[in-house]
Amino acid sequence: MIARDPWAAFSRHTPARIALGRTGASLPTDEVLRFALAHAQARDAVHTPFDADGVAGEVKSLGFATLRVSSAAPARDIYLRRPDLGRRLCDESRATLAAAAGDPVDLALVVADGLSSAAIHAQTKPFLAAFKPFIAQQGWSHAPVVIASGARVALGDEVGALLKARACVLLVGERPGLSSPDSLGLYLTFDPQVGRTDAERNCISNVRPDGLSFEAAAFKLAWHIREALRRRITGVELKDESDLLLEDGRAPTLLGGG
Amino acid sequence: MAYVHRIGTKSFVFADLKELMAKATPPRSGDMLAGIAAATAEENVAAKMCLAEVPLKAFLSQALVPYETCEVTRLILDSHDAAAFAPVSAMTVGDFRDFLLSHEATSEVLAGLAPGLTPEMAAAVSKIMRNQDLILAAKKCRVVTRFRNTIGLPGTMAVRLQPNHPTDDAAGVSAAILDGLLYGCGDAVIGINPASDSLPVIERLLKLMDEVITRFEIPTQSCVLTHVTTSIGLMERGAPVDLVFQSIAGTQGANRSFGIDLKLLAEGADAARTLKRGTVGQNAMYFETGQGSALSAGEHHGVDQQTLEARAYGVARAFNPLLVNTVVGFIGPEYLYDGKQIIRAGLEDHFCGKLLGVPLGVDVCYTNHAEADQDDMDTLLTLLGAAGVTYIMGIPGADDVMLNYQSTSFHDALYIREVLGLKRAPEFEAWLERMDITAPDGRLLPADARHPLLGYVAGRAA
């Protein structure tokens, strides 16, 4: 009854659900149930509470100082309905950052839970470990790493402005997919100020072991930061040409000249 | 100008047309987020009753977004065709609904009317229409576009083959293209959302699709859904760009947040047309839209999200697109909370687009933080099939592994063809039969392990 697809071997090239077979025009029973399970797991991932203490501990273990902030969204259900609240700091956190700000720095680094705490829990430490050598190599000054709960991408604008950063790097848990409930996104914004639009940012997406590797993502981010600081811009005007610097298709561990 | 509606001893007052439109909109979380939704169910219906009495002409003199500061308003009003509008110029919004559902409003009459309608008129009438009205009226609207095949003919529905891969891997993308073609999908476009916005990566993807289309003489077109400036840059490098893509919205400010304006869209459209890569037509633009994008950008001017969505179609039609689709459930629960709101929005968007003469497809979709599931998508897909939707998305197993959301699958496309008897674009249907992928009745033939497409992909992946 089930028509199998003779190209199942190509599944090794993609996580996409190819060669599922069919009964008539429809999915076989196994596939319908497999999909339902994946959806159930992704739904659960959205609602996993953010372990900010655990993440702060991991970041500290890499040698970074940390600061803790919260957005203006008081609870997860309100966070989901009110993205505007997730883009701004609560009053207390605004005061915390104003008090913590020192001299101007090159970078503000923000770790934001976004729509997948699972992604932040899994990917923050290995990504920052891969990225740290680039900070040292380029001599970028930076503020303590800000661990932000209830946060959307634009929260980085307010954080970056308060910390007097030339650019803001924000790590965020991306919206969970069926096959990737723990994907990390990286957003870079030059001259962070409240009111920046998404067209003024660069995004590196799908950072996770089965997606863009930590090493490749760290290299790409470092390339973007260097270009952003040099050209004083991020967003649609800053096109990603970092791939031109790949060595045999692999990301170099440090930025070369040029 | 204030609008007042009395129900018994109660008076409902709406400060202006913009407020009246917002309060007449069926409930959705985005308008609540913006603080412009009706406060009660009764106020919502009072606003609908009041809106039904507003003359259509009012939308020509009362701009919801200021003419002086918004180029989208200027585009809509400056390009309005008064002669085409004449047959309905004396109608109220309520009369217009009755007219659209009447037997006098034939496909030919509605096509003639389209240039005389503004997006705001379409949005207004949609607000007082039930789901069945949106389906019936949209079904009568015909919008036919052409590049390498003919999309939008009565009794047909096309599918965008969306072979996304999380790292733009060539073998992975090829495998998904193969899967889609062998499931009879890809007549609307083979369109990739790239994970990267790197020019060399996007150029490789364009070449990959161009090769398979050329090698197998597939009557379809390809697109990498990247920013219009990137496509212009790629065309300058000589990359094989069929369709130029861009996300668009209904206000100048929201478009600015996408890094575009009308002049830039015109540059993109000109560049694509100059390449003349179409064989049966030169509709060379592909636009995506979705309710809530203007609010998301903080550029909504207090106008409801459904009206602003219709204005995005006003932008689209100025550039003679091959395809436009509303990515209806992608934006998230803060704009469309659950399956019910997504279904309603999908039907509204499709109706408004078609009424305005735009080739509207729908990405029947949802995200994992919305209160929706595959059952809701089955419902919307079936309703849109009945409404004559131009095209839907086709994604392996409905799971987009790059964009992390669920849409419709190749199987879903087969389902709706089976239930409603919908055919593919005729050139593509003939190609599938020639390639021994489908039988003359359009159903899939048993898959053959020796099919040349399999050999081709295996050779490339090796």
pLDDT of A164-213, one tens digit each?
A: 999 999 999 998 888 778 889 999 999 999 999 888 999 998 899 988 99
Tell me the backbone φ, ψ of residue B37, rounded to 5 degrees.
-75, 160
Q: State both tokens at B72.
A: 């989208």
The tokens for B322 are 């091959």
Strand partners, A107: A142, A167
Segment B393-416 mean pLDDT: 96
For the entire predicted model, the pTM comes to 0.88
- Which residues of chain A does B173 touch, with a Cβ-Cβ cutoff of 8 Å? 14
Output the pLDDT for position B10.
95
* Helix (H) or strand (E) segment spanning residue B380: helix B374-387
Round to the nearest angstrom and report the end-to-end CA distance of chain B: 69
* Chain A residues within 8 A of B227 when measuring between CB atoms: 236
Q: Which of A170-184, B337-351, B447-461 has the highest mean pLDDT?
A: B337-351
From chain B, pick out residues whose CB is under 8 angstroms from the CB of A154. Answer: none
Do residue A206 and residue B166 have CB atoms under 8 angstroms apart?
Answer: yes
Cβ within 8 Å, pair A25-B230: no
A45, A115, A240 member nearest B198 (Cβ): A240
Q: Identify from A1, A4, A5, A10 which residue to disrupt to test chain B contact, counting B C-beta atoms within 10 A and taking the largest count.
A: A10
Contacts of B263 (CB under 8 A, 6+ apart): none
Nearest to A239 among B199, B415, B446 (CB): B199
Q: What is the chain B residue with the closest CA to A216? A: B167
Amino acid, res. B130: R
- Interval B89-111 mean pLDDT: 98
Distance CA B85, CA A234 (A): 45
Cβ–Cβ contact A212 with B under 8 A: yes
Q: How confident is the model at residue A234 (pLDDT cuts 50, 70, 90)?
A: very high
- Angle at the Cα of B246 (from B242 to B250), degrees rounded to 5? 145
The per-residue pLDDT for A257 is 59
Task: Considering only the beta carbons, identify the residue of A26, A179, A239 that sits closest to B401.
Answer: A179
Residue B376 pLDDT greater than 90, yes or no: yes
Show residues of chain B in contact with A175, CB under 8 Å. Answer: 332, 367-369, 404-405
Cα dihedral sign, B109-B114-B116-B117: positive
- Least confident stretch, A21-30, A36-45, B82-91, B196-205: A36-45
Q: Tell if the CB–CB gap between A178 and B33 is shorter than 8 Å.
A: no
| Half-sphere exposure for A195 (CA within 13 Å, toward CB) | 2
- Candidates B146, B153, B134, B149; CA nearest to B422 is B153
Restricting to A residues 185-204, those with a Cβ less than 8 Å away from any Cβ of B are 195, 197-199
The least confident of A5-19, A230-244, B153-167 is A230-244
For range B66-71, the mean pLDDT: 97
pLDDT value for A45: 77
The phi, psi pair for A145, rounded to 5°, reads: -70, 125
Average pLDDT over residues B230-234: 96
Report pLDDT for B324. 98
Answer whether residue B75 shows pLDDT above 80: yes
CB contact under 8 A, B332 and A175: yes
Q: B423 to chain A nearest CA, in Å?
A: 14
The band of A248, judged by pLDDT with boundaries at 50, 70 and 90, is: low
How would residue B222 be classed by pLDDT, with cut points 50, 70 and 90?
A: very high
Name the minimum distance, in Å, from the CA of B433 to any CA of chain A.
17
- Average pLDDT for chain B: 97
Strand partners, A189: A168, A201
- What single-letter amino acid sits at B244? V
Instruction: Give B96's pLDDT tier (boundaries 50, 70, 90).
Output: very high
Chain A residue with minimal CA distance to B333? A81
**With helix as H, strand as E and coil as C, how does chain A read?**
CCECCCCHHHHHHCCCCCCCCEECCECCHHHHHHHHHHHHHHHHHHCCCCCHHHHHHHHHHCCCCEEEEEECCCCHHHHHHCHHHHCCECHHHHHHHHHHCCCCEEEEEEEECCCCHHHHHHHHHHHHHHHHHHHHHHCCCECCEEEEECCCCCHHHHHHHHCCEEEEEEEEECCCCCCCCCCEEEEEEECCCCCCCHHHEEEEEEECCCCECHHHHHHHHHHHHHHHHHHCCCCCCCCECHHHHCECCECCCCCCCC
* Percent of chain A residues topping a pLDDT of 70: 98
**Predicted pLDDT of residue A249:** 64
Residue A218 to residue A189: CA distance in whole angstroms: 16
% residues pLDDT > 90 (chain B): 96
Which uninterrupted H or E stretch holds B145? strand B145-146
- With contacts defined as CB-CB under 8 Å, which chain B residues touch A211? 166-167
A111: left (phi over 0), alpha (psi -120 to 50) or beta: beta
Give the list of residues 6+ apart from residue B350 with CB closer than 8 angstroms, or none.
B134, B138, B326, B360, B362, B384, B387, B389
* Distance from C-alpha of B179 to C-alpha of A131, rounded to nearest angstrom: 37
The dihedral of CA B354, B358, B364, B368: what is its sign? negative
Mark residue A24 as left, alpha or beta (left: phi above 0; alpha: psi -120 to 50; beta: remaining): left
Per-residue pLDDT, averaged over B233-237, amounts to 95
Is pLDDT of B121 > 80? yes
What band does B142 get if pLDDT is binned at 50, 70 and 90? very high
Report the C-alpha gap between A232 and B56 in whole angstroms.
Answer: 49
Q: Are B389 and B345 in contact (CB under 8 A)?
A: no
Q: Which tokens in the block code for residue B163?
A: 């072979």
Q: First vs last Cα of chain A: how many Å apart?
A: 61
Contact B67, B73 (CB under 8 A): yes
Q: What is the pLDDT of residues B260-300, one digit of tens each?
A: 999 999 999 999 999 999 999 999 999 999 999 999 888 99
Q: B332 with B369: CB under 8 angstroms?
A: yes
Say if residues A131 and A218 touch (Cβ distance below 8 Å): yes
Buried residues in B168-186 as b, exposed as e (16+ CB within 10 A)? bebbbbbbbbbbbbbbbbb
Q: Is A257 on the interface with B (CB under 8 A)?
A: no
